[in-house]
A and B are shown apart, each in its own frame.
Chain A
Amino acid sequence: METLAFIAESWSLIFSLTLEHISLVSVAVGLAILTGVPIGIAITQNESVAAVVLYAASIIITVPSIALFGLMIPVLSLFGQGIGYLPAVIAVLLYSQLPIIRNTYAAINNVDPALREAARGLGMTPVQRLRLVEIPLAIPVIFAGIRTAVVMNIGVMAIAAYIGAGGLGTLISRGITQTDPRQLIAGALAVSLLAIIADYALLYCQRKLTPKGVSA
């Protein structure tokens, strides 16, 4: 009951923290898409490079987020950005690479070899093959990777509150330090809800973007 009362009276605070959280994750995952998808496509050209890149991305994801924040403080301090927005975005950007690169790589690689041969035989250039055939067919799987990245990093971003990045993690960290279960629960609930809603929203986008003739 107390928690509900807290949520009711801090509604506008929760709302603004949620917006902050969304903007942090969106910027970071947005940048991750801009880097991860091209990398995923590029490594389909060379199996050994692909193995190295995927291995590196897997290692990054095993570093605990709190440790990653700690590692970045001395480095980014050189630019006066040791804590706050920048390290939070960089961390999420790095964590997002594995699901996005791996799914892009797998999706492009799994395009039916017969379709690839047909595309070559009809006289498409490699770029045309990507644009007209491979990427449209890979969209559902690439999008699944993006969804994984978003859901996972909504959680990671909550921890970024400890380095002053803001977002819903602020409620959780305050709840812990002030031994205030109301804030803690409200923050945790909001983070979970946000993750679920984001997943469904992206699923909707995925369906809209998947070419009609391709089964999702």
Chain B
Amino acid sequence: MIQLENLTKIFETPDGVVTAADNINMTVPQGEICVLLGPSGCGKTTTLKMLNRIIPPTSGRVMINGEDTSTLDTISLRRNIGYVIQQIGLFPNMTIAENISIVPRLLGWDKKRYLARAEELLAMVALEPKTFMQRYPRELSGGQQQRVGVIRALAADPPVMLMDEPFGAIDPINREVIQDEFLKMQEELQKTILFVSHDIDEAVKMADKVAIFNAGKLIQFDSPDALLAHPCNKFVEDFVGTDRTLKRLRLAKVADVMTPAPTPVKPDDDLQTALQIMQNNDYVAVTMVDTLGRPIGSITRDLATAKRGRCGDHFYGLRAIARVDDDLRSVASAMFSKDTTWMPCVDDEGIFRGEISQRGVTHYLGATYRSREAQQTGVQHGEV
């Protein structure tokens, strides 16, 4: 857990006094990623660098797992905090193995142990240890170097990581890949991470909590969804963008929004059975699954009323299928591209699990606004 208490940095410059970080207070629970977000010069990087005292704080406290870091020796503090910078900063005079094992070596691990650790870490980011251990940084691509930069910070298994725009210098395609890899690693590692970014999309993707900074002040500290749904002022609203509700699509999974499996029909069922199900449940359509339970088509109420016979002889094909762990953004995209307002949802095995509709998505996104409005209206009525 990381706690910042009234953390402040004041720089004396020739042009006068500049408050780069002004009484920053926040708490990041163990195992969470907190993204520090804001325009350049907003104080996010200064705040990050005060944690490992690359920039010494003017006042205030940094507590890591309840321990006031100002009581610790700077060198050992830094060895216990993973640090990743945008420029990567691999030492060109050292091999990849040497780069990764720097902190373990500084901590006095024996050679066998730190080499084994380097191999383990390389394997974790899908870089073949045999190939890469003895290479030099300049022989690696940018993306490969950045992966090494991240695992170098993880080498001595520090509980806390500081990442200063770690994926900023990578092309957009590789950035997505590395972000995904990193999130997968984080699921296992459960580090407490402070992550500086200026990219709202990256923040929404990576963060458990987002801290928005402006002019040295912490403006809003919230979950990505709360931040996008309820920006606390004009600055945050402008910063997150006019399409902020669309950005929230990425934060919800199909499983959060779908209506759980309504009874499906089989190809051998009579259309009358399908109609009965629709009438009983007030559906306009019902999904048809095969013998294994995989969706293969749909029967609408019009169809069931107009035709006679088996469902398997009279059904509409499926335009698109959603997976329960897809995010809503890909569902919305599929709905638009396939011109449909409804999709059956399947699990990893392809088994029918539920349905998702455009109405369901908009209802889900709108819920947070309605509850807020209801509260506000309630207050007004109370005052009257």
B83 CB-CB contact with A under 8 Å: yes
Separation of A137 and B89 alpha carbons in the complex (Å): 13
A123-B106 in contact (CB<8A): yes
B140 → A minimal CB distance (Å): 11
Task: Check B89 against A115 for contact (C-beta < 8 Å).
Answer: yes
A115: shortest Cβ distance to chain B, in Å? 5
**Which of B89, B93, B136 is in CB contact (< 8 Å) with A118?**
B89
Partner of A120, one of B54, B93, B95: B54
Q: List, in ascending order, chain A residues with CB within 8 A of B54's CB.
A: 117, 120-121
Q: Mark A133-159, 1 if CB is under 8 A from B, else 0.
A: 100110000000000000000000000
Selected from B52, B79, B102, B138, the residue in CB contact (under 8 A) with A213 is B138
- Contacting chain B: which of A32-40, A77-85, A124-132? A124-132
User: Is the CB of A208 closer than 8 A to any CB of chain B?
Assistant: no
Residue B103 at the chain A interface, CB threshold 8 Å: yes
Q: How far is the CB of A85 from chain B (nearest CB, A)?
A: 39
Instruction: Give Cα A112 to B95, complex, Å.
Output: 18
Interchain CB contact (< 8 A) of A123 among B78, B88, B89, B137: B78
Closest approach, in angstroms, between the C-beta of B185 and any C-beta of chain A?
19
CB pair B91 A118 closer than 8 Å: yes
Selected contact of A122 from candidates B79, B88, B137, CB within 8 Å: B79
Q: Which residues of B contact A1 (CB under 8 A)?
A: none
**Residues 57-90 of chain B: 1 if any A CB is under 8 Å from the residue's CB, otherwise 0?**
0000000000000000001111111010101111
CB-defined contacts of A212 to chain B, threshold 8 Å = 93, 136
Known: A122-B78, A123-B75, A213-B138. A117 touches B89 (CB 8 A): yes
Chain B: which residue is nearest A215 at the CB level? B138
Q: Does A8 contact B (CB under 8 A)?
A: no
Q: Does A70 contact B (CB under 8 A)?
A: no
Q: A114-B85, A124-B106 are known contacts. Are A213 and B93 too (CB-CB below 8 A)? A: yes
Chain A: how many interface residues by the 8 Å CB criterion?
22
Which listed residue, B90, B93, B153, touches A136 by the CB 8 Å rule? B93
A window 164-216: CB within 8 A of B: 211-215
List residues of chain B with CB within 8 A of the CB of A132. 91, 94, 102
Query: Is B92 part of the binding interface, using a Cβ–Cβ cutoff of 8 Å?
Result: yes
Interface size for B (C-beta < 8 A) is 29
0/1 per residue, B82-124, Cβ < 8 Å to A?
A: 0101011111111100000011001000000000000000000
Q: Which residues of B (318-376) have their CB < 8 Å from a CB of A? A: none
Which residue in chain B gives the minimum CB-CB distance to A125?
Answer: B75
Give bound CA distance, A112 to B92, whole Å. Answer: 11
Considering the complex, give the chain A residue whose CB is closest to the CB of B77. A123
A119-B79 Cα distance, complex, nearest whole Å: 11
Taking CB atoms, residues of chain A closer than 8 Å to B137 are 213
Q: Are B93 and A123 in contact, with the CB atoms below 8 A?
A: no
- Residues on A with beta carbons closer than 8 Å to the beta carbon of B78: 120-123
Instruction: Give every chain B residue within 8 A of A128 (Cβ-Cβ).
Output: 106
Please give me the residue from chain A that is nearest to B153 by CB atom: A122
| Residues on B with beta carbons closer than 8 Å to the beta carbon of A124 | 75, 102, 106
- What residues of A have a CB within 8 angstroms of the CB of B136 in the complex? 212-213
The docked-state distance in angstroms from the alpha carbon of A120 to that of B79 is 10
A115 touches B91 (CB 8 A): yes
Q: Which residues of A contact B80 (CB under 8 A)?
A: 123
Q: How far is the CB of A157 from chain B (nearest CB, A)?
A: 34
Kindly list chain A residues whose C-beta atoms are within 8 Å of the C-beta of B94. 132, 211, 213
Contact status A214-B92, CB under 8 Å: yes
CA distance A144 to B247 in the complex (A): 56
CB of B92 within 8 A of CB of A123, answer: no
What's the nearest-Cβ distance from chain B to residue A214, in Å? 5
Name A211's closest neighbour in chain B (CB-CB).
Answer: B93
Contact (Cβ within 8 A) A122 B93 = no
Give CA–CA (A215, B162) in the complex, Å: 30
**Distance between Cα atoms of A212 and B96 in the complex (Å):** 12
Residues of B within 8 A of A133 (CB): 91, 93
Contact across chains for A122 and B92 when beta carbons are under 8 A apart:
no
Least CB distance from B82 to A in Å reads 9
Contact of B106 among A117, A122, A211 (CB under 8 A): A122
Instruction: A158 to B87: give the CA distance in the assembly, Å.
Output: 50
Interface string of B166-193 (1 = CB under 8 A from A): 0000000000000000000000000000
Looking at the complex, which one of A117, A121, A125, A214 makes contact with B93 (CB distance below 8 Å)? A214
Please, how many angstroms separate the alpha-carbon atoms of A112 and B89 in the complex? 9
Nearest chain B CB to A125's CB is how many angstroms away? 6
Contact A123 to B103, CB < 8 A, known contacts A137-B92, A137-B93: yes
Q: Which residues of B contact A136 (CB under 8 A)?
A: 93
Give the docked Cα–Cα distance between A114 and B89 (Å): 6
Least Cβ–Cβ distance between B266 and chain A, in angstroms: 62
6 residue pairs of the A-B complex, CB under 8 angstroms, read: A115-B89, A122-B79, A122-B102, A133-B93, A212-B93, A213-B138
| New contact pairs (12) apart from A117-B85, A118-B88, A121-B54, CB-CB < 8 Å | A112-B89, A118-B85, A118-B90, A120-B78, A121-B78, A122-B83, A123-B80, A132-B102, A133-B91, A137-B93, A213-B137, A213-B138
Which B residues have a C-beta under 8 Å from some C-beta of A? 52, 54, 75-81, 83, 85, 87-95, 102-103, 106, 136-138, 152-153, 162
For the complex of A and B, list the 3 residue pairs with the smallest distance between their C-beta atoms, beginning with the closest.
A118-B89, A213-B136, A121-B83
A residues near B (Cβ < 8 Å) are: 112, 114-115, 117-125, 128, 132-133, 136-137, 211-215
